[in-house]
Amino acid sequence: MSQLRPALVAVALTLAVATPAQAAATPAITVENGRTQPVFSYADAVREHVYVESPVDSDQDGALDKVRVDIIRPKESGPRLKVPVVIDESPYYDNSGRGNEGERKEYDEAGNVAKFPLFYDNYFVPRGYAVLNVDMLGTTRSEGCPDIGGKADVLGGKAVIDWLNGRAKAFRADGTPAVADWTTGKAAMIGKSYDGTLANAVAATGVKGLETIVPISAISSWYKYQRSNGVIYNHDYASWLAGYIDTDPAAKCQAVRDRMDAEDGDDTGDHNRFWAERDYIDGLLGDVSKVRASVFVVHTVNDLNVKPDNFSTWWKALADRNVPRKIWVGQTQHVDPFDFEGRRTLWVETLHRWFDHWLHGVRNGITREPRADVEIGPARWITQRDWPAPFALNASLRPAPDGTLGLKRAPRKSTASFTDVAMSENDMVAEIGTANPGRVAFTTGPLPLDLRLSGTPTADLRVKLDEPTSNLTALLVDFGEQPRVDWRRGQGITTLTEEDCHGESTEADDACYRKTVTNVATRPLEIVARGWIDVQNRHSLSHAKPLPVGTYGTVKWLTLPQDYTFRKGHRIGLVIAGTDATYSDESGTGANVTVDLAGSRVVVPFVLGTPLTDVPKDTARFRGPERVDLPEPEPGFHFF
């Protein structure tokens, strides 16, 4: 026994020292109170980069394009501890930057990213995630040419998901193979604007391993981004944007930009193969029926950059296929939910729970909560079962020859006429009770109760023209003085000097960002809903058909969606005009448009507290306020 005692003591000491050290060296994912916990060191995280081989050669140099992927992951991740992945793929990492403060990637001497834009890395890496910032093909340090929503954009991002799951090749800077042996293969894609658009696009391919996406102010159809029923917002926009995001010498991708100009159909505004390739609801590269990922949509109803029909049509298509989903609907302009006033901590916590559920399998109940958060006034939010508000009732508001708007059909053969000229929206809504040759306008009397619009109004007009076609604009207007979200100024927010922090920081990359508040303005009117159509596209977006001159025809189309409350005592206005010069650079056709009032209406989805049995009319025609010039979109409006 005396000879064994020293050996036993030695073993005991070895175990006493080795066991804690071993445990400290290999921490596991820790979940408490339904959330992953920050048990991994952000400062010690692995920072590396690889080049994933895509299946496309967009710059036609004879070699498949490689996608630059910058990675930050827990030091302990590897074959023994695999972690899921959060991806933000973007074309903006070396030009406009990301986030409200325009952060760009910053690199160390080894060429790895020392500063990752946004808070995702600071917050999620300590909680057992890898975060990948991916340079879209043709941008920053990736190869190839930007394809503006097309094949290269989509398949480049898909290749990254394939690599994480062992289905694609990747290489380090020295050319040696890179294997993602540190990941479970489960991935999320997140991002605002183009970044969120790429998430929609990759999800529509049905790629395995993409478990969830969080598209923020994102495009689901590039046609909807640059067209409305044949009306062109901006000519040759795709080639312009490609030039803006590509920091290579201009000559490298000039042929690609020339091809875009030749194929975009700007001469007609019609939908064609170019736009079908860039449609993620029902497109050539993918469609909503293939989506395997859950979807957390964030958009704002006043985003006149990536207009809100991009989220409403995507959302409905997802709902029709019972895709697991969640939504936040705000009232600012092109703003990230991280910068919604008073919602930052809630956003970070909600996103954390969403990722924990879909990527780590944490049962935290987030999918059993109300599906929709909706902003109903400046920084005032409600939750509801879905969006649009369930049980909304469609009301048909009908124009009358005396300039009123109500529920009763106008007398037969009553008409109103205007000429299709390019007019600004300020001119369209100015002096509403005064005749204007470029528009016709109708208003209700004072409303007897609050009426909340939730969803997408429909313009349903019966018109005849003295020319083969005309552009038509329908505006739904709220007349009444009240404070409203001033989304036209600063995208609807003001950035403060005070910061708050979400996640861990290093000297090179802090987790702190400036707070924001919602801009509010008191004005006597607000344009609530907008809709545009080229009459010759009334039956088809792909095949124009002129309306026979002098013959009445029905022109029916959806406006942009909204969620807005008309207050008691306010009046609802309907303006019908020609070309909207505020949002289209087209010229008016000069056609004289005659509207059959008896055959025309606007259908509005209202959420009613009291049944709406009548809309009162004024005994004297409402003249409206004196001219009010709403601010024009700010410079840089078309960036996203």
pLDDT score of 7: 39
pLDDT at 23 over 60: no
Residues 247-274: pLDDT tens digits?
899 999 999 999 999 999 999 999 999 9
Respond yes or no: is residue 239 known to be catalytic.
Answer: no
pLDDT score of 530: 98
Say whether 51 sits in a helix, a strand or coil: strand
Average model confidence (pLDDT) across the chain: 93
Q: What percent of the chain has pLDDT over 90?
A: 90
pLDDT score of 247: 86
**In 3-state terms, the chain is what percent helix, strand and coil (to 5)?**
20, 30, 45
Residues 133-152 have a mean pLDDT of 97
DSSP code for 78: B
Confidence of residue 615 (pLDDT cuts 50, 70, 90): low
pLDDT at 622 over 90: no
pLDDT at 64 over 60: yes
Residues 166-185 have a mean pLDDT of 98
Residues 523-539 have a mean pLDDT of 97
- Measured in degrees and rounded to the nearest 5, phi and psi for residue 478 equal -105, 115
Residues 561-585 have a mean pLDDT of 97
Say whether 21 sits in a helix, a strand or coil: helix
Respond yes or no: is residue 386 known to be catalytic.
Answer: no
Residues 149/198, Cβ–Cβ less than 8 Å: no
Question: Which one of the listed residues 303, 309, 427, 563 is annotated catalytic?
Answer: 303
pLDDT score of 610: 58
Confidence of residue 11 (pLDDT cuts 50, 70, 90): very low
Respond yes or no: is residue 193 known to be catalytic.
Answer: yes
Domains located in the chain, CATH noted = 31-384 (3.40.50.1820), 392-607 (2.60.120.260)
Quote the CA–CA distance of 211 and 184 in Å, as a whole number: 11
pTM: 0.93
Question: Which one of the listed residues 49, 271, 299, 334 is annotated catalytic?
Answer: 334
Residues 611-627 have a mean pLDDT of 68
Lowest mean pLDDT among 271-285, 304-318, 375-389, 620-634: 620-634
- Measured in degrees and rounded to the nearest 5, phi and psi for residue 579 equal -80, 130
- DSSP-derived secondary structure for 86-135: EEEEES-TTTT-BTTTTB--EE-TTS-EEE-SSSHHHHHGGGT-EEEEEE
Confidence of residue 14 (pLDDT cuts 50, 70, 90): very low
Confidence of residue 640 (pLDDT cuts 50, 70, 90): low
Residues 103-117: pLDDT tens digits?
999 999 999 999 999
Residues 61-81 have a mean pLDDT of 97
Q: Spell out the alpha helix ranges (H) of 445-502.
A: none
Give me 294's structure tokens: 């859950």
> For the chain, how big is the Rg over CA atoms in Å?
28
pLDDT at 30 over 50: yes
Residues 163/179, Cβ–Cβ less than 8 Å: no
Residues 64/57, Cβ–Cβ less than 8 Å: yes
pLDDT score of 627: 76
pLDDT score of 614: 63
Residues 522-540 have a mean pLDDT of 97
| Burial class of residue 31 (count of CB atoms within 10 Å of its CB; 0-12, 13-18, 19+) | middle
Question: Which one of the listed residues 54, 90, 193, 312 is annotated catalytic?
Answer: 193
pLDDT at 489 over 70: yes
Confidence of residue 372 (pLDDT cuts 50, 70, 90): very high
| Element of type H or E holding 592 | strand 592-596
Residues 147-154 have a mean pLDDT of 97
Confidence of residue 517 (pLDDT cuts 50, 70, 90): very high
Confidence of residue 18 (pLDDT cuts 50, 70, 90): very low
pLDDT at 395 over 90: yes
Cα dihedral 428, 270, 233, 330 in deg (nearest 10): 90
Residues 336-365 have a mean pLDDT of 98
pLDDT score of 624: 78
pLDDT at 22 over 50: no
pLDDT score of 612: 62
Residues 49-58: pLDDT tens digits?
999 999 999 9
